[in-house]
């Protein structure tokens, strides 16, 4: 009899973490590796946010906090939702967690029973289905298409919903594809959800501030107020404010759900790090002008990567509206051989051989539920991206 739980057997290790670690290991061995696997901004945390953390330490803000967060942070989060999304939440409808992952895990732990289904568009962030499975639910993935820019069609959402569906998990802009839904596209999805009143919406808005051009970000409860009472709106400070290591995600929703999540978190971690919470207060309440500057840099990087990848034979890369990822297809390379005679049969073969031949680490698309594709994170320097794309072009040119 196995000592390990059945629940653990239902999940796979994180592919993005695995690729990042493999790149680290190869670098430690002296290999010249460019790692494009991690979803982490290369910018530093803003200075005012760091200073707020230092001031909190010096004030002695080093004790346990309320499970759902200090009052100042919950108020700042409620103010952010009102200011930026037109959503009215009271501070007691808000919860702060140790990263966005804990928000999701708390929500699923508090609501899922065996047999409950969660509809997840593919490609999806690698942790979504695994969290659902860990909490006893059943992930139901719905494929999107490259020709539709990896956006879920309303009729496909409608078909995926059953009497067992409890949640629709929505992410825009998307990790891994960068796809973002316009107001009209999102309204078409919320119209479907209005016809299924038993389905709740968990929207992951982590990349809200990383939309490019004149694209306007909107979130489900904003587009369709009738969904307000069954929507959990999630966000965090990791991507926009370059605070990945600080570990602070947050969400707002119906009071009954927030209380249930508070109960679950109270038996896991209790409150998030006190210093991080004070830093997040400053991030949300402080100056926001740096966001536009960083957004422009990301947009320029996106344009560079899309252009160079589309010059590589066998690769097709759409231009995403947001986040800092591209999700190119390598379908044109399946069946080809490397110079050593290795046949590229899958997207995992492609990324493995690319890393071996050229020292470029990317994540295979099948890890995100849809292939043959691969994900590149362009949250790194322009110089590194240019060199990486040159190496990818070179590798593709060697395949026969």
Whole-angstrom CA distances from 99 to 172, 206, 217, 308, 393 are 18, 10, 22, 34, 36
**pLDDT of the residue at 302:** 98
Asked if pLDDT for residue 313 goes beyond 70, the answer is yes
328 φ, ψ to 5°? -70, 150
Higher-pLDDT residue of 3 and 227 is: 227
| Confidence at residue 349, expressed as pLDDT on a 0 to 100 scale | 94
Task: Please answer whether residues 100 and 128 qualify as being in contact, where contact means their C-beta atoms are separated by less than 8 angstroms.
Answer: no
Is a pLDDT exceeding 90 seen at residue 10?
no
Average of per-residue pLDDT across 152-179: 98
Say yes or no to pLDDT of 1 above 70.
no
Model confidence at 19: pLDDT above 90: no
Q: Beta strands of 302-380 (E only): which ranges?
A: 325-326, 360-361, 363-364, 374-377
Phi, psi of 293 (to 5 degrees): -65, -45
Instruction: Read off the pLDDT of residues 192-245 as tens digits, 9 standing for 90 and up.
Output: 999 999 999 999 999 999 999 999 999 999 999 999 999 999 999 999 999 999
Inform me whether the pLDDT recorded for 20 exceeds 80.
no
Closest CA to 392 of 324, 330, 331: 330
pLDDT over 70 for what percent of the chain? Answer: 100
| 181-to-12, 168, 170, 398 alpha-carbon distances in Å | 29, 15, 10, 37
User: Quick one: average pLDDT of 148-168?
Assistant: 98
- Looking at residue 59, its pLDDT comes to 98
Smallest Cα–Cα separation from 222: which of 213, 237, 235, 212?
A: 235
Q: What is the pLDDT of residue 22?
A: 81
Q: Tens digit of pLDDT for each residue in 248-278?
A: 999 999 999 999 999 999 999 999 999 999 9
pLDDT in tens, 67-125: 999 999 999 999 999 999 999 999 999 999 999 999 999 999 999 999 999 999 999 99
Cα 101 from Cα 111, distance rounded (Å): 16
pLDDT of 9 reads: 83
Residues 6+ apart with CB under 8 A from 147: none
Residues paired with 60 in a beta bridge: none
- What are the chain's domains? 6-44+290-398 (3.90.1150.10), 64-285 (3.40.640.10)
Q: Residues 28-71: pLDDT tens digits?
A: 888 899 999 888 899 999 999 999 999 999 999 999 999 999 99
Q: Mean per-residue pLDDT for 280-302?
A: 97
User: What pLDDT is stored for residue 15 in this prediction?
Assistant: 75
> What does residue 273 show for φ and ψ, rounded to 5 degrees?
-50, 130
Mean pLDDT of the chain: 96
């Amino acid at each position: 009899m196995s000592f390990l739980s059945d629940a653990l057997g239902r999940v796979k290790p994180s592919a993005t973490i695995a690729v990042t670690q493999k790149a680290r290991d190869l670098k430690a061995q002296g290999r010249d590796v460019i790692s494009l696997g991690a979803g982490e901004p290369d910018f530093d945390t803003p200075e005012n946010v760091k200073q707020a953390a230092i001031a909190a330490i010096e004030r002695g803000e080093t004790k346990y906090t309320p499970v759902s967060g200090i009052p100042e942070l919950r108020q700042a989060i409620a103010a952010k939702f009102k200011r930026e999304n037109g959503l009215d939440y009271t501070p007691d409808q808000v919860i702060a967690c140790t990263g966005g992952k804990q928000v999701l895990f708390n929500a699923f732990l508090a609501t899922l029973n065996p047999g409950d289904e969660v509809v997840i568009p593919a490609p999806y962030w690698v942790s979504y289905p695994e969290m659902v499975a860990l909490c006893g639910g059943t992930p139901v993935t719905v494929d999107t298409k490259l020709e539709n820019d990896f956006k879920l069609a309303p009729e496909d959402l409608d078909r995926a919903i059953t009497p067992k569906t409890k949640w629709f998990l929505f992410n825009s802009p998307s990790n891994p594809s960068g796809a973002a839904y316009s107001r009209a596209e999102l309204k078409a999805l919320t119209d479907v959800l209005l016809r299924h009143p038993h389905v709740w919406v968990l929207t992951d808005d982590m990349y809200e501030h990383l939309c490019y051009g004149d694209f306007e970000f909107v979130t489900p409860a904003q587009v369709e107020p009738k969904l307000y009472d069954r929507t959990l709106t999630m966000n965090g400070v990791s991507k926009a404010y370059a605070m990945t290591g600080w570990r602070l995600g947050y969400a707002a929703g119906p009071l009954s759900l927030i209380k249930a999540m508070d109960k679950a978190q109270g038996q896991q971690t209790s409150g998030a790090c006190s210093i991080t919470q004070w830093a997040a207060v400053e991030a949300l309440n402080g100056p926001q002008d740096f966001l536009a500057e960083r957004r422009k840099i990301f947009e320029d990087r996106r344009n560079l990567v899309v252009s160079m990848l589309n010059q590589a034979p066998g690769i097709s890369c759409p231009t995403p509206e947001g986040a800092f990822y591209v999700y190119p297809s390598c379908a044109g390379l399946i069946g080809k051989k490397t110079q050593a005679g290795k046949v590229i049969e899958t997207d995992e073969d492609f990324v493995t051989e690319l890393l071996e031949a050229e020292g470029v680490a990317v994540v295979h698309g099948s890890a995100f539920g849809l292939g043959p594709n691969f994900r590149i994170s362009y949250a790194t320097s322009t110089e590194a991206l240019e060199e990486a794309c040159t190496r990818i072009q070179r590798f593709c040119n060697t395949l026969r």
